[in-house]
Structure 1
Amino acid sequence: MTDIAYAWSALGGDPALLPRVSTVVREGALQGRLPVRELARACVGSCALAAAELGARRTGRADVPAVRVDDGAVATAFVSERHLLVDGRAPVTFAPLSRFWRTADGWVRTHANYPHHRARLLSALEVPEDVAAVEAALAGRRALEVEEAVYAAGGLAVALRTPEEWTSHEQGAAVAARPLVERERLDSAPARILAPIDGTPALPAAGLRVLDLTRVIAGPVATRTLALLGADVLRVDAPHLPEPADAHADTGFGKRSTTLDLAADRGTFEELLAAADVVVTGYRPGALDRFGLSPRALAERRPGVVVAQLSAWGAYGPWSGRRGFDSLVQVATGVATTEGSVREPGALPAQALDHGTGYLLAAAVLRALTEQSYEGGARVVRLALARTARWLTGGDGVSGAGPAPHEVEGASYGGPGSWLAETDSGLGRLRYARSPVSFEGGPADWARSPGPWGADAARWG
């Protein structure tokens, strides 16, 4: 089974639609020891096919529009945060304390981009905010000891593991027992009536309201894609947890951004929920349940809703309550040792777990909407970065080798070139990566550029 067929099957898609997908192959794109290019191509291709399928349903087309996946567009989009320029300035992607560190018996990777995570890391190590001090503190401690101490303090640090060590770990076993895309029907709500769409370009998600409760890359990539496809996406953040400006500029295309205290502004939040068609969450499993945001609680209040949940480690196993990011999942699951070694860990050519899972999450939402239009029922879909990592590392028996269906040979990937664009925005002049999600008659770009974080009213457009 090819990667695209595997991803499409995991989404519940009809295999008869796979011939609608063609691929422009560009050697040199997303090069690594692991089949990153194949995984990225499959995630984007399945997302585009899900969009085309929903578009055909809403336009009344008898056939599903053709999908074209270009390795160049995919490779450019998977490092969109690196291509971003804001008034000519390159973004800052990792803070000084977010990196690999040597320990007494190996390596550990920390994540301290957010101020509260940085403070908890320093508190756990009992050192000042100084690279040399952190380096000295970690050099004298065992990696697993650091991992446990920092997590106990609410920070983020993960010890380097080999693929074999992750497979034998309790969390690794829990991840392996779950499907790539978890899909569940929650109620017997009637079939969703989708208004017909027409015009150019075709926007499969037009008229749908998406409440975006995600952060960083994977979740925002998913909602950015739904916005491309016509959804009214409103991102909601807590006022005391601002998103880094560059991350917001990269993933804020097509959306509006507001802030709400979910406890103090409960009435406003409930009004948003009452009109939402899709709710996407990217916080730790269970973290939002106290606000009535568990899938079943949402389905009770909003029959027929689609709930999409994203996590780092999965909503199961001993690490289900832990925070995590792409870079840390690479370290825990053995990706970093495969791309480097136990002596000198490496990294993927892109934050492919984030980006890939983001496109898969958007695809899962689109497929849920299509299924609802026939069968009804509120739906929940769940994905985890660690589960995507298992697929990438061959744990699902999908090799990534061999040709993709309907390949078209292209030139070698020589850089981002025509897959970059520029626009004016409320944040300044932006250079950005175009979306790689492409199908016949579909949108080529977002309808709006990002504005300042939290500047929009807490209401639907």
Structure 2
Amino acid sequence: MNRHTFTPRDTVACLWNTLSLPLSALDSLNLVQDGDFFPSSFKVDHLAQSTIALSALAAALFHATRNDKSVPRITVSAEHACVEFKSERLYVLNGKPAPSSWGTIGGLHKAKDGYVRMHDSFPSHRKNALRILDLKEGATREDVARKMLDWKAIDLETTAFRRGAVIVALRSFGEWGALPQAQAVADLPILIDKAAEGKPYIGSTKGKKCLSGIRVVEMSRVIAAPVAGKTLAAHGADVIWITSPNLPDLPDLDRDLARGKRTVQLDIKNSEDKAKLLKLLRTADVFIQGYRPGSLAGQGLSTEELVRLNPNLIIANLSAWGLEGPWAQNRGFDSLVQTASGINVADAERFGAGEPARVLPCQAFDHGAGYLLATGVTAALYKRAVDGGAYEVNVSLAGVMKYIRSLGQYSEKTGFGRKDFTKPEDVELYLESRESGFGELKAVKHAARIEGINVGWDVMPKPLGSDEPQWLQG
């Protein structure tokens, strides 16, 4: 679909309508256009403001429904929304700015017949990539670059998918469009399906925030799904973030993304820990998971099994490439989706400096997907309150890519002169200081304001496993 003439408000209205939510709620939305942001030919600023606005409007609608009130006024500034789309890069901890979360050997590399991008933030992905390249641990970026030249880009991509590394070939729009996976990506970025019938159910009505009393179990790593949990927490949900003691973490990202969440460590392959998880899920409202499609089904956590356990549960899934298609089971991250889908090539061509690729100025697909997943969750809460039932929500990074591409590109080089935010000093107006489990944390406030209702985080990041697996209320 061609959405080249859409404004951010048009995007909100369009997606709101596809979710079959009451159109009257749109009258409560105030989008402030206070500048042009993000140097890119793609409309990343549009995506930021519209997705954050959608998540807030859905939360406000649910609040109004369960309290039998009118939807309060929501205000989202374009600048503040864009700042929040870079929140994991703009915090300050104990006076020191956020360090880079990127590994030392990844990024864009020249192959024998093109280019590839490698993701190496997690040790297992780095190790598997080095094995494929026949390199030892401790290899430098120069070592990797030399070995990459022995491979054709598509051959390396195929091998990486098969052997647990995260490497994709750089493609143009045309090359991406020729793949079956491109056709398999859903046309809409939020998919909501009723997983089971049931009676209308609101859940707890305690508390003054939009989602106060809503219980969320989050099992995720890396930006997108954590943004969804963090957003629900900003609106008052009780979010328990479950991590595995057997998997590596990314503390530099977690310092921002863990705001609003209590932290529990469980090994779900251990029967006692699995029982603790199931006990939480039995009385949860929402389960967010960011693993590859079907990954948790082998642990007894399929949609069907979860709904049998809790017939009022909303299951929210975040994937890289979508639910369908030959790439559905492949690993993927924001930067890889940008590379494989033609976004990086198209941005470089529009910039006109002869670069093979140009990355977006933020992790736009991660953040966009996170806010859209939160929107889907809260829309499902509304549907559960009105119609009853359990629901499944699906959002993918590739789906967000497809949507931002449908918005078109700014003409010629006009998009590249837009304002960016590269250091905390650029965004002081939007930062708040709080004491965390790691010291003083100065981080980006949530960009959505709701009239008469406090929005923000009551819990600050703390060491993993600091909390007990039990709900705050009931």
TM > 0.5 between the two?
A: yes
Query: In 1, distance between residues paired with 2:283 and 2:437?
Result: 27
Pairwise mapping of residues 74-93 of structure 1 onto structure 2 (< 5 A)? 74-90=81-97, 91-93=99-101
| Kept after mapping to 1: 8 A contact 2:204/2:214 | no
Pairwise mapping of residues 227-238 of structure 1 onto structure 2 (< 5 A)? 227-238=233-244
| Kept after mapping to 2: 8 A contact 1:73/1:436 | yes
State the 1:317 CA deviation.
0.5
SS in 1 for 2:337: helix
Closer/same/farther in 2, CA of residues 413 and 72 from structure 1, 3 Å limit: farther
Closer/same/farther in 2, CA of residues 400 and 190 from structure 1, 3 Å limit: farther
| Kept after mapping to 2: 8 A contact 1:26/1:413 | no
Query: In 2, distance between residues paired with 1:196 and 1:393?
Result: 40
Pairwise mapping of residues 179-194 of structure 1 onto structure 2 (< 5 A)? 179-194=188-203
| Kept after mapping to 1: 8 A contact 2:189/2:372 | no
Select the residue among 347, 352, 360 that pairs with 2:359: 347
Select the residue among 144, 148, 164 that pairs with 1:154: 164
Deviates more, 1:293-302 or 1:305-314: 293-302
Query: In 2, distance between residues paired with 1:291 and 1:10?
Result: 33
| Kept after mapping to 2: 8 A contact 1:125/1:150 | no
Closer/same/farther in 2, CA of residues 441 and 31 from structure 1, 3 Å limit: farther
Does 2:73 correspond to 1:66? yes
Letter in 1 for 2:321: W
Instruction: Show structure 2 runs of 5+ residues with no match.
Output: 1-5, 411-418
| Kept after mapping to 2: 8 A contact 1:185/1:379 | yes
Partner of 1:25: 33
Select the residue among 201, 209, 214 that pairs with 1:208: 214
Query: In 1, distance between residues paired with 2:409 and 2:283?
Result: 41
Pairwise mapping of residues 267-346 of structure 1 onto structure 2 (< 5 A)? 267-341=275-349, 343-346=355-358
Instruction: Show structure 1 runs of 5+ residues with no match.
Output: 402-411
Pairwise mapping of residues 352-371 of structure 1 onto structure 2 (< 5 A)? 352-371=364-383
Closer/same/farther in 2, CA of residues 372 and 241 from structure 1, 3 Å limit: same
Query: In 2, distance between residues paired with 1:68 and 1:331?
Result: 34
Deviates more, 1:334-343 or 1:184-193: 334-343
Query: In 1, distance between residues paired with 2:296 and 2:333?
Result: 18
Partner of 2:250: 244
Does 2:454 correspond to 1:447? no
State the 1:197 CA deviation.
4.8
| Kept after mapping to 2: 8 A contact 1:4/1:41 | no
Question: Given the two structures, how large is their TM-score scaled by the length of structure 1?
Answer: 0.92
Question: Given the two structures, how large is their TM-score scaled by the length of structure 2?
Answer: 0.90
| Kept after mapping to 1: 8 A contact 2:369/2:396 | yes
SS in 2 for 1:340: helix
Does 2:118 correspond to 1:94? no
Partner of 2:448: 437
Query: What do residues 120-175 of structure 1 show as CA deviations (whole Å, max 9, x unaligned)?
Result: 11111111222111010002221111111222210100101111211221101101
Closer/same/farther in 2, CA of residues 197 and 270 from structure 1, 3 Å limit: closer
Does 2:138 correspond to 1:131? no
State the identity as a percent.
33
| Kept after mapping to 1: 8 A contact 2:42/2:408 | no
| Kept after mapping to 1: 8 A contact 2:205/2:213 | no
| Kept after mapping to 2: 8 A contact 1:205/1:231 | yes
| Kept after mapping to 2: 8 A contact 1:283/1:310 | yes
SS in 1 for 2:96: coil
SS in 1 for 2:112: coil
State the 1:400 CA deviation.
8.1
State the 1:184 CA deviation.
0.6
| Kept after mapping to 2: 8 A contact 1:160/1:337 | yes
Partner of 1:385: 397
Query: In 2, distance between residues paired with 1:164 and 1:16?
Result: 40
| Kept after mapping to 2: 8 A contact 1:52/1:64 | yes
Letter in 2 for 1:388: V
Aligned CA-pair RMSD: 1.9
| Kept after mapping to 2: 8 A contact 1:256/1:456 | yes
Query: In 2, distance between residues paired with 1:301 and 1:74?
Result: 37
Query: In 2, distance between residues paired with 1:420 and 1:140?
Result: 47
Partner of 1:163: 173
State the 1:196 CA deviation.
3.7
Select the residue among 257, 273, 277 that pairs with 2:263: 257
Query: In 1, distance between residues paired with 2:205 and 2:88?
Result: 35
Query: What do residues 398-436 of structure 1 show as CA deviations (whole Å, max 9, x unaligned)?
Result: 4588xxxxxxxxxx8884231111111111111211111
| Kept after mapping to 1: 8 A contact 2:219/2:290 | yes
Deviates more, 1:279-288 or 1:94-103: 94-103
Closer/same/farther in 2, CA of residues 179 and 438 from structure 1, 3 Å limit: same
| Kept after mapping to 2: 8 A contact 1:123/1:153 | no
Closer/same/farther in 2, CA of residues 95 and 66 from structure 1, 3 Å limit: same
State the 1:297 CA deviation.
1.4
User: How many residues of Structure 1 are paired with residues of Structure 2 in the alignment?
Assistant: 445
Query: What do residues 228-275 of structure 1 show as CA deviations (whole Å, max 9, x unaligned)?
Result: 111111111111113211111110011011111102122222212212
Closer/same/farther in 2, CA of residues 307 and 156 from structure 1, 3 Å limit: same
Query: What do residues 191-212 of structure 1 show as CA deviations (whole Å, max 9, x unaligned)?
Result: 10344456xxx41211111010
Query: In 1, distance between residues paired with 2:378 and 2:311?
Result: 17
SS in 2 for 1:287: coil
Query: In 2, distance between residues paired with 1:222 and 1:340?
Result: 30
State the 1:305 CA deviation.
0.6
Partner of 1:174: 184
SS in 2 for 1:315: coil
Closer/same/farther in 2, CA of residues 356 and 269 from structure 1, 3 Å limit: same
Query: What do residues 347-395 of structure 1 show as CA deviations (whole Å, max 9, x unaligned)?
Result: 111111000110011111111101111100000010100011001111x
Query: In 1, distance between residues paired with 2:149 and 2:409?
Result: 38
Query: In 2, distance between residues paired with 1:428 and 1:116?
Result: 30
SS in 1 for 2:432: strand
Query: In 1, distance between residues paired with 2:447 and 2:83?
Result: 8
Deviates more, 1:121-130 or 1:412-421: 412-421
